[in-house]
Amino acid sequence: MKVQHRLLVANWKMNGSVALVQTMNETLADISLSAVDVVICPPLTLLHHFTVQGNVQLGAQNISQHNAGAYTGEISADLLLEAAVTYVIIGHSERRTLNLETDEQIAAKVKVAVQAGLIPILCIGETLQQRQQEKTEQVIARQLDAVYASQPELLAKSVIAYEPIWAIGTGESASPEQAQATHAFIRDHLAKLDKEAASNIKLLYGGSVNGDNCSALFAQPDINGALVGGASLKAAEFAQICSSAQE
């Protein structure tokens, strides 16, 4: 494994305000981020309020699989680029569940993002029932193959975020050992498609990451960062997570 800098992605979901943006700008400017890359993914209306500097970059929470046209409420790759976005979250479980996004749509979105020069953060993960039925690896393999089996060239330009659905916003997190075992499986599975890309790709853990559990998660060899939800809305706690990733 050759991954160096850790990557922290803040998914604000449908939360935030201009005041919070200002607080986050000031907080991140006051801490060292020399060995960690930070991506903030706020609602679209807040993107232009952020200060993009140093290792802090912007991300979006969704992207259309279409380049332009009559798609009310959607956002294209070109529009995201004009908003100074670098990364885009694709396939989050909330999009899969609430918006009924299919594996085929998600694969198309990853392709569109990469072709535009954006870095897709592909979210994968199992439900509690699937874990209890010991189907975690089966589910994750299917989600990965749906995107990369027929287009493995996209793998080298992607980030993968493993988010067990049962841990998102619940306060329950996978143990460091559980998360590491799944991340190791992901890397091994991807190596079947592109060994070098699998060695270099950043694998993020998401699912109730906070200031208390982040250090133990970052200590695992195949966890290269985190996709942070609720804790990223608290500037001080997110700064603590950034500092832990820096160590």
16 marked ligand binding residue:
no
Q: Is 237 a catalytic residue?
A: no
Cα angle at 199 between 208 and 190, to 5 degrees? 75
| Catalytic residue chosen out of the listed positions 26, 163, 237, 247 | 163
11 marked ligand binding residue:
yes
The H or E element that residue 142 is part of is: helix 136-148
Q: Residue 35 has what DSSP assignment? A: T
Number of H helices, E strands in the chain: 10, 8
CA distance 148 to 111: 10
The H or E element that residue 167 is part of is: none
17 marked ligand binding residue:
no
CA distance 48 to 120: 20
135 marked ligand binding residue:
no
| Catalytic residue chosen out of the listed positions 74, 92, 104, 126 | 92
* Distance between first and last Cα of the chain: 18
59 marked ligand binding residue:
no
Residues across the chain = 247
Q: Is 163 a catalytic residue?
A: yes
Binding site: which residues?
11-13, 169, 208, 229-230
Catalytic residues: 92, 163
Binding site for substrate: which residues?
11-13, 169, 208, 229-230
